[in-house]
A and B are shown apart, each in its own frame.
Chain A
Amino acid sequence: MFKKFIFVLATVGLAAGTLLGAPAAKAKQIELLNVSYDPTRELWRELNSAFIPKYEKESGNQLTIKQSHGGSSTQARAVIDGLEADVVTLAMWPDTNAIRKAGLIDSGWESRLPNNSLPYVSTIVFVVRKGNPKGIKDWPDIIKPGVEIVTPNPKTSGNGKLSFLTAWGSVTQRGGSEQDALDFVTKLYKQAPVLDSGARGATTTFVQKQIGDVHLAWENEAHLEIQEAGGELELVYPAISILAEPQLAVVDANVRRKGTRAAAEAYLNFLYSTEGQEIIARHFYRPTNPEVFKQHVATFPDLKLFPITAIAKSWENAQQKFFADGQIFDSLYKPAGR
């Protein structure tokens, strides 16, 4: 009888202890994984260190954010194959869409965050050698005889794909026919001595190995490249280029399982705050908030940016038309007579 009493007492005590202890344990430990593409490393590092204290103060939870970087489609494949990303911040729509196709992101994801899920946009610009010896000002100049072009392989690189599409659009957007565009890219890739497999490889080829006269690079990468080169390189803005749209998305299947949706959404929404937009502009991505953009307009010269839909019906259509096996890009390299 006495033993039973002790037992009951102990149980009650334990239960009370758990209840009392509960409020202390309420501050949850949250960990987010942001899977992104290559050149955004520094951008996200700064965004994270600004967001974490803000979020911890507001929610009372403890937050750690891990970043993963690599080629955009390689990263998408990793998420499809089970890398537990809470958010994906990839370079191009087809990559994020591939994750949707695998059933990990709900359809209609593009419109879930403000401004078509775009806190920033970017574009493709020229990097040339000091003094611009070949006089490269705009797209027609890069295919002048004797100019060598460095750009990665469109089949394996997002930067490469965008470079190709921009070159194509630079002709058709100025009233040229598709045949004119084909002639232009044919010449362009004849004058490209190397097709590196990724954006960073192309940068190495251009900067370290001193190959080529013009490098078709991401705008933000171009700025970094020039800062590092210490006066050996110059940035040239063509009059027209592509509007690159690196849309963001929450990976629904993963946040549902991990219970991290609220934190993940707060994280991505932070990019639209003035503070987030300022950081974005400092890293040479074009902020989509017009107020912030206006303040940094000196960094971002005005040029005509055309969207992918100006040269193809959709991204899928562009992929099929230009880069699928045996299509336009492959035909450039087909030896004569086959």
Chain B
Amino acid sequence: MIDVNRRVLPGFHLTLGYTLLYLTLLVLIPLLACLFKASSLSLDQFWATVWTDRARAAYALTFGAAFVAALVSAVFGLLIAWVLVRYDVPFKRLFDSLIDLPFALPTAVAGLVYSSLYVKNGWLGQFLVPLGVQGAYSRLAIVLVLIFIGFPFVVRTVQPVLGDLEAEVEEAAACLGATRLQTFRRVIFPTLFPAVVTGFTLAFARALGEYGSVVFVSGNMPYKTEIAPVLIVARLEEFAYGEATAIAVVLLAASGAMLVLINFLERWSSAHVA
């Protein structure tokens, strides 16, 4: 019998089986359990839980803050990646490894540090608060801490692509008469764009789920600085598991929809921009 599945390396069935098992155990089953728990509510109860004014305000803040933070991360992440790849700056290796710090640091620590810095007698807050910049216990505070958590994703996705970009390509563009701006817009940016979008998506997704740091910097004021995960915790404290998972399901569905949309945009743009 001839093996139809001709590949140089064996192990297709083994790896596929492992992938399926892994995804099922670690992703699919927990998500299904979440849906299952939420289904213990009637449809009316479900809507009454997830669609209150307060919950809507929290969703808007969660998604809004995550979006703004991811956007800022995308711009500055690109900038940082550019500097780290293109220029020889002193202590480059040190800076480069510092980028990974937000990945490793427990986010609660980040939250505590940020809020201590920006309160009105903190190191930075003592100068900023008199100028009207509330960097702690405000929406700005949430965005700041989400940028901290999100920008490494952009740096780390853009860096390798930028590194692979040959200088000859830019030289060729220049020889053919392109201005500097044109070279960046027409030659470099299209190549980097998919990586930036991927970084943006990762940063956005990460920010949506962030809880540990945000509870310390936001002040948790209902309607103003209360993120959706805080609502989930509040429900858990009342032993209302069904209601807590209902909110989780809404967040899950919304995040899923946004990630699909962004993926779609990414495909579309890499097909059209280039």
Contact = CB atoms under 8 A, between A and B. Distances in A.
Contacts of B48: 325
B223 interface: yes
Contacts of A153: 220, 234
Contacts of A76: 239
Contact of A156 (B115, B216, B219, B237): B237
Q: Which of B49, B121, B219, B223 counts the most A-chain CB atoms under 10 A from its CB?
A: B219
Nearest to B215: A197
How large, as a class, is the contact surface on chain B? 20 to 34
Nearest to A333: B222
Interface stretch (A30-38, A208-216, A243-251, A300-308): A208-216
A325 B49 contact: yes
A323 interface: yes
A197 B238 contact: no
Interface string B109-142: 0001001100111100000000000000100000
Contacts of A80: 239
A334 B52 CA distance: 11
Interface stretch (A57-65, A179-187, A188-196, A281-289): A188-196
Q: Which of A98, A156, A338 counts the most B-chain CB atoms under 10 A from its CB?
A: A156
Nearest to A98: B239
B236 to A, nearest CB: 7
Nearest to B55: A325
Secondary structure of the A contact surface, majority rule: loop
Contact of B220 (A194, A209, A325): A194
Interface of A: 71, 73-74, 76-77, 80, 98, 101, 153, 155-157, 193-197, 201, 204, 208-211, 319, 323-326, 330, 333-335, 338
B219 A193 contact: yes
B239 A77 contact: yes
Contacts of A157: 237
A197 B230 contact: yes
B20 interface: no
Contact of A209 (B115, B221, B223, B238): B115
A323 B238 contact: yes
B237 A209 contact: no
B169 interface: no
Nearest to B136: A209
Nearest to A80: B239
A74 B237 contact: yes
B244 to A, nearest CB: 10
Contacts of A330: 54, 222
Given A73-B237, A194-B137, A326-B52, A201 B222 contact: no
A319 B238 CA distance: 9
Contacts of B54: 330, 333-334
B233 interface: yes
Q: Which of A80, A196, A209 counts the most B-chain CB atoms under 10 A from its CB?
A: A209
B53 interface: yes
Given A194-B137, A196-B220, A210-B121, A155 B237 contact: yes
B222 A210 contact: no
B223 A333 contact: yes
Contacts of A156: 230, 233-234, 237
A19 to B, nearest CB: 49
B44 to A, nearest CB: 14
Nearest to B240: A325
A175 B137 CA distance: 36
**Which 7 residue pairs across A and B have the least CB separation, nearest first?**
A333-B222, A155-B234, A194-B219, A195-B220, A73-B237, A209-B119, A98-B239
24 contacts: A73-B238, A74-B237, A80-B239, A98-B239, A155-B237, A156-B230, A194-B220, A195-B221, A197-B215, A197-B230, A201-B215, A204-B112, A209-B115, A209-B121, A210-B119, A319-B238, A324-B238, A325-B48, A325-B52, A325-B243, A330-B54, A333-B221, A334-B53, A338-B53
Contact of B239 (A73, A193, A335): A73
A74 B237 CA distance: 7
B220 A197 contact: yes
A77 B219 CA distance: 25
A156 B235 CA distance: 8
A77 B236 CA distance: 8
A326 B49 CA distance: 10
A209 B122 contact: yes
Q: Which of A193, A201, A325 counts the most B-chain CB atoms under 10 A from its CB?
A: A325
Nearest to A201: B216
A147 to B, nearest CB: 16
A290 B242 CA distance: 44
B43 to A, nearest CB: 17
A209 B129 CA distance: 14
